[in-house]
Structure 1
Amino acid sequence: MEFCENCGKVLIPKNNKVKCSCGYEKKLSSEDIETQYTFKGEAIPENEVIVKTDNNVTLPTKKITCYKCGGKKGYWWTVQTRSADEAPTYFIRCAKCGNTWRQSN
């Protein structure tokens, strides 16, 4: 990365040279461009994800009683549905039937 020798601004290359608004200008060699301005990202091979069932839920669980099916296990999460100075809204989903309801505190 090049900085202007006069004012210290970061210089972006264009047409094999860097030019600053204060008037500073410098010609860049192809080696300068390769070493200072070429970025290579990390190559990560793609991983194949296999989903076997639709029950792969990573939410926290709690003991509940579902009012639709009587299920005893539920997943829960919170969402700030009102202003920031009020309590969040808790959502609960039955693990057995998928019924979802909310509980405000």
Structure 2
Amino acid sequence: MEFCDECGSMMQTEDGVWICTQCGFEQARDAEQEAEMVTTQAQEESEIIESGGGTSGLPTTSADCPSCDNDEAYWYMQQIRAADESETRFFVCTECEHKWREDDH
């Protein structure tokens, strides 16, 4: 994707040149620069690596499970409200995998 140096709009390719969709500014295409661009197709084809074992990659802490009275849980933070609100901490029991939020108690 290329943006116009004159007005900042997105440009399209046509006959070996970039053409601005708004002001008509033209710029020669650079094959080396375009080869370095990441396309959406390349993003879709990228390999996704998953850790083996569900929540085992999460950090653990001391927390009393309300379901089985285990005293250790995995935890993670997630933004579930507006961006100007604080994140919510979630816990997952290391024994029974019961999931709860920090403010559930």
TM-score normalised according to structure 1 size:
0.48
TM-score normalised according to structure 2 size:
0.48
Higher helix share: 2
